[in-house]
Amino acid sequence: MAHAIVNFILQSLGDLLIQEAVFLYGVEDKVLQLQTELMRMRSYLQDADRRQDENESLKNWISEIREAAYDSDDVIEAYALRGASRRNLTGVLNLIKRYALIINRFIEIHMVGSHVDNVIARISSLTRSLETYGIKPEIAEASNSMHGRQRALRRSYSHVIEEDIIGVEDDVKILESCLVDPNKGYKVVAICGMGGLGKTTLAKKVYHSLDVSNNFESLAWAYISQHCQARDVWEGILFNLISPSKELREEIANQRDEEVARMLYQVQVEKSCLVVLDDIWTTDTWKKLSPAFPHGRSSSAVGSKILLTTRNSDVPLQMDPSCYLHKPKCLNEDDSWELFQKKAFPKIDHPDLEMKKLGKEMVERCGGLPLAIIVLGGLLASKPTVYEWDTVRQNINPYLRRAKGQEQCLGEVLALSYYELPYQLKPCFLHLAHFPENLEIPTKKLIRIWVAEGIISLDQNEGEGEEALEDVAQRYLTELVERCMIQVVEKGSTGRIRTCQMHSLMRDLCVDKARQENFLVVINSWNVDETRGASRARPIGKVRRIALYLDQDVDRFFPSHLKSHHHLRSLLCYHEKTARLSEWGLMKSFFNKCKLLRVLNLEGIQGQAGKLPKEIGFLTHLRFLSLRNTKIDELPPSIGNLKCLMTLDLLTGNSTVQIPNVIGNMHRMRHLYLPESCGDSIERWQLDNLKNLQTLVNFPAEKCDVRDLMKLTNLRKLVIDDPNFGDIFRYPNVTFSHLESLFFVSSEDISIVHVALGCPNLYKLHIEGPIRNFPEPHQLSSKIVKLKLKGSGLHVDPMPTLENLPNLRLLELQLDSFMGKQLLCSRKGFPQLKSLLIYDLPNLEEWKLDKGAMPSLSKLEIANCTKLERVPDGLRFVTTLQDLEIRSMFAAFRTKLEKGGEDHYKVQHVPTVVFCYCDY
C-alpha cells in the first residue's frame, strides 16, 4: 500500500510541476529533488509491501514512509495554493504592501525549503533502512514471501475430496451439462467467485462425476500458483493425460519447452480430454500456459475442454469470449445451518438449545460463505461449553480470521485477493472501508470521491488519446468486480454499475487492512464501543481520512471529535436517519483547523440556520463538496476561494439557494449540481470558462446566457429548463459530441430534430413539453438506451420511429406524451427493450402488438390509461415478461386479466402480476 501512496503522490508532484510551475517559484528545485528521492524509494516498496507482515519493525518503517510521503504532498500543495492566491492579489495592492508581500514570500520560500529538506532527509534515511532488511529495488518473487507460503498451503489435489458438501447439487448439474452436452458447444467452462466460496470443492465434485469422467478419454487436474512455471504445469497435465512409462517421462524431461507444449497440444487434439486449471489468477498466467492448449476447431473436433476456477472473471473471457461463466452463490440460511451442524456437531444429534441459538447467530455472520462456516464449525467443535461459544460470538471476527479449516486460514484466503491487487487498485479497495455494512454504495459518487482524493492519476492511463479520470476509475471499479472483491447490486440502463456492496467478510478484511495501513479511522456514534476498539487498534500516525457514522444527535460527535485532526484530507458522513446539527456555526472551528481537506460529504446533515459559515473558504484544497439534502439556503462569498473544486452538489433540498457569482471561476469543476433557482441577485454569471465540466444539473437560465453551453464541449450530462436551449443548434458546427444524457424542457419553438442531430452520442434522453415534429429513426442517436417523453402532445404514433432504435432498453410514455387513439408495435420492433411504462395517456383506446415484437421485454407498467380496454393479444407471445403492474385502471380491465377472465390467457405466463388502485 505504501507503494501505491508514493506512486500517486509522485503523480501529484508531477502535475504541480507541469500545470502550476508558476506557483512553485523558489522551490522548484526542492520539488524535483523530492520527486527523485520518492522515485528511488518507490523501486523498493513493492517488495517491502509484500514482506511487511513478516517483520514488525519493517511494518513500522513502512508506516513512517507513508507519513513522509503524505507530509511531502501537504507542504508542497499548500505552498502552491498560497502562490495561486497571491497571484490573484497582484495589481490590487499598493507599492508598500507589495514589497512587504515579497519579503514575506522570501521568508516563506526559506521555511518551505527547510521543510522539504527535512522530508527528503527522512525519506532518504528510510530508504537506506529498507536495505538493512534485505529489501531489494527489484520485484522479488512472491513465493519467497509470507503470501507465497499462504498460496502453497492452498494447493489443491484432485484426490482430496471434501465429504461435507452442501447446497451444490444444482451447480454440479449445470456444470456437468456444459461439459458433456454436445449441443452447448462450450470449450471453456469457468467457476468464478470470491475466496472461500467453494470453487475448488465444486470443481472436484464435477471432476469426479461419473457423467463427466465417462464422457472424456483422459482427465487431468493442475493447481496453478500465482507464479507458476508453465513447463511444470504442462508436464504435470501431460503425465496425467497419457500415463507415460518411466522411459517416456525421462524423454519428456529432456525436451525443450516448445516440444513439451506441442506434445500436450497434440494429445488434446487427438483425443477428448478434460483439463482442470484450479485457481488461475491472471490473464498473464494464461498467456504463459496457452501455447499448449488448442483453440477453435482443433479442440472442438474431439471435444477437449478446460474447466477452471478463478477469482477474476476476466481470465476465462480472455481464454474464450464464448466461454460459460458460472458464478456460484453463497449458501442460503438452511444450507448454511446444515453445513455448520456437520462441522460443529459431528457426533451430536440433538445439540444444546442455547448452543443452537448462539450458533445460528454466528452462522448468519458468515454471510453464506462456505469456508467461513467450515472454519467456524471446526473451531466450535472443540469447545464443549456454552460459555466458550458465547466468548467466540462476542469476538467472532478475530476468531474467524485466526481459526483454520482444511489447513486454510479464512483471513489468509480472503487476504490473498488483496495482496495480489495491482498497486493502483489497493487504495480504491481500502477506500470502500468508509461505507457502513450492508449499505448499497452509489458508484457515481464513489468514483468522483476517488478522483477528488487523487487516488486515480493520469500516469495510470494506458493507450492513445485522453481518457477522463472518471473512466479510469470506472475501469478500476469493474476490475474489483471481476476479481470478486465487490458485488454488483444494480446496473443502470447503459450497463454501468449503479450500486455495489461487499460481502460482510470481505468488508471485514477491507476495514481491517484500512486500519492496519492507517488509511482510515471510523468514528461510530451508532456503536461507541466499536469506535473505541477501533481507536485502540489504530496504528500511530496522523489521521487523514474519517468516516463518521452519525445518529440523530450530531452535536455529540460533530465537529468536536474532528477539529484536532489538522492533517485530515477526507470526511464522509453517514446516517440512518436525518442527522440534525444545532447550528451550522459549530462548523467554524472545524473549517478553520482542517485546511488540507479535499473531500467533504455533509449530505443529509441539517442545521437550524440555513447559511453555511464563511469559514468554508479556508478549505482551499477542497475537491469534493456535497451539501445535498442539508437544507442550506445561502452560501457565503468565500465559497469562491474553493478553486480546486471538482464536484459541487448544491441540491440542498431547497428549491432556491442564494449563491454568489463565483462558480464561473472554479475552472477545475467537473460535476456541478445546482438548485432550481440560484437566488435573487440580478448579477449575470458566466460558465463558459468551465472547460472541464462533465455534469451540469439545472442550468441556471435566469443567471446565464444559454450560449455559454457552446463552449462546454466536455459535457456528458445536462439538465436544462430554458426555452432558448434549441436556439444554440441554429449556429453552425454546434455539436455536443461527448453528451450522453440530456434532460430538457421543450417548447413549441424548439426543433427536436436539430437538438437530436446536435447530440449524436446520446444514451439517455428525457424530454418534457410539446414536440412539434418527432424525429425519424436516423435522426436520433442509435446509442439511445433510455427514453422518456412527457407532455409531448404527439398525435402521430411514435412507435414506428421508436421501435427502430436498436439499443433502446427503457421507454416511458408519460402524461399526455401521446394524444392519439392507437399504438402499433410491429414484428421485430424494439429488439432490446427491457422495460416499458405507459402512464396517463387519456385518449389511448387500443394497443396492437404484433407477434415477434418486444422479444426481450421483462417489465411492463400501465397506469391511468382509462380508455384502454384490454392489453394487446400479442402480449402472450412475449415469453420474457416477468413483471406486469396495472395501476389506476377500471375494475373491468383488472377482471379481464385475472384468473377466469377473458384476457387471462394473454398474461398467464407472467410470474408476477400486480394490480394497484383498480377498484373503480
Residue 462: pLDDT above 50?
no
Residue 884 in contact with residue 910, Cβ under 8 Å?
Answer: yes
Backbone torsions φ then ψ of 785, nearest 5 degrees = -115, -20
Model pLDDT, residue 827? 92
CA distance 792 to 723: 15
Q: Across all residues in the chain, what is the average pLDDT?
A: 81
Place 506 in a pLDDT band, splitting at 50, 70 and 90.
confident
CA distance 556 to 293: 64
Amino acid sitting at position 651: L
Q: Name which of 777, 785, 772 is nearest 756 in CA terms.
A: 777
Model pLDDT, residue 467? 75
User: Span 798-810, mean pLDDT?
Assistant: 94
Q: Name which of 201, 49, 174 is nearest 516 in CA terms.
A: 49
Q: Name which of 236, 181, 243 is nearest 218 in CA terms.
A: 243
User: Among 28-32, 303-307, 572-576, 811-815, which range has the highest average pLDDT?
Assistant: 811-815
Model pLDDT, residue 18? 41
Query: For a pLDDT cut of 90, what percent of the chain falls above it?
Result: 34
Distances (CA, A) of 806 to 137, 389, 856: 53, 59, 12
How do residues 226-235 score in pLDDT, each as one tens digit?
667 888 889 8
Residue 297: pLDDT above 60?
no
Model pLDDT, residue 29? 62
Residue 466 grid coordinates: 485522453
How do residues 665-688 score in pLDDT, each as one tens digit?
999 999 999 999 998 888 899 999
User: Span 569-578, mean pLDDT?
Assistant: 86
Model pLDDT, residue 781? 87
Model pLDDT, residue 123? 66
User: Span 716-729, mean pLDDT?
Assistant: 88
Tell me the residue ranges of DSSP E strands in 336-429. Answer: 404-405, 408-409
Residue 295: pLDDT above 80?
no
Residue 829: pLDDT above 90?
yes
How do residues 514-528 score in pLDDT, each as one tens digit?
888 888 888 887 554
The residue that leads in pLDDT, 17 or 855, is 855
How do residues 727-755 score in pLDDT, each as one tens digit?
888 888 888 999 999 999 887 666 788 88
How do residues 393-440 score in pLDDT, each as one tens digit?
877 776 666 655 444 566 777 777 787 788 888 899 999 999 988 889
Model pLDDT, residue 533? 39
Place 550 in a pLDDT band, splitting at 50, 70 and 90.
confident
Considering the entire predicted model, what is its pTM? 0.80
Residue 626: pLDDT above 90?
yes
Place 56 in a pLDDT band, splitting at 50, 70 and 90.
low
Residue 707: pLDDT above 80?
yes
User: Span 376-402, mean pLDDT?
Assistant: 77
Q: Name which of 17, 29, 26 is nearest 102 in CA terms.
A: 26
CA distance 10 to 34: 9
The string of DSSP letters for 108-135 reads: HHHHHHHHHHHHHHHHHHHHHHHHHTT-
Residue 450 grid coordinates: 476517488
Residues ≥6 apart with Cβ < 8 Å to 395 = none
Residue 442: pLDDT above 90?
yes
Residue 141: pLDDT above 50?
no
Model pLDDT, residue 746? 82
Amino acid sitting at position 316: P
Query: Where does residue 41 rank: exposed (0-12), middle (13-18), buried (19+ CB within 10 A)?
Result: buried
How do residues 143-192 score in pLDDT, each as one tens digit?
344 445 445 445 555 554 565 678 788 899 999 999 988 888 889 999 99
Model pLDDT, residue 880? 95
Model pLDDT, residue 98? 44
How do residues 246-268 score in pLDDT, each as one tens digit?
888 888 888 899 999 999 999 99
Place 534 in a pLDDT band, splitting at 50, 70 and 90.
very low
Helices (H), 193-272: 199-207, 210-215, 230-242, 246-253, 257-270
Model pLDDT, residue 354? 84
Residue 383: pLDDT above 50?
yes
User: Among 110-124, 556-570, 751-765, 843-857, which range has the highest average pLDDT?
Assistant: 843-857
Residue 751 in contact with residue 775, Cβ under 8 Å?
Answer: no
CA distance 344 to 361: 14
Query: For a pLDDT cut of 70, what percent of the chain falls above it?
Result: 76
User: Span 436-461, mean pLDDT?
Assistant: 84
Place 664 in a pLDDT band, splitting at 50, 70 and 90.
very high
Distances (CA, A) of 221 to 175, 208, 225, 293, 311: 16, 11, 13, 14, 18
The string of DSSP letters for 490-540 reads: EE-TTS-EEEEE--HHHHHHHHHHHHHTT--EEEESS-HHHHHHHHHHSPS
251: Cα separation from own chain's centroid = 51
Comparing 82-86, 207-211, 758-762, the range with the smallest average pLDDT is 82-86
How do residues 70-126 score in pLDDT, each as one tens digit?
776 766 666 655 554 544 444 444 444 444 444 454 445 445 556 666 666 766 776
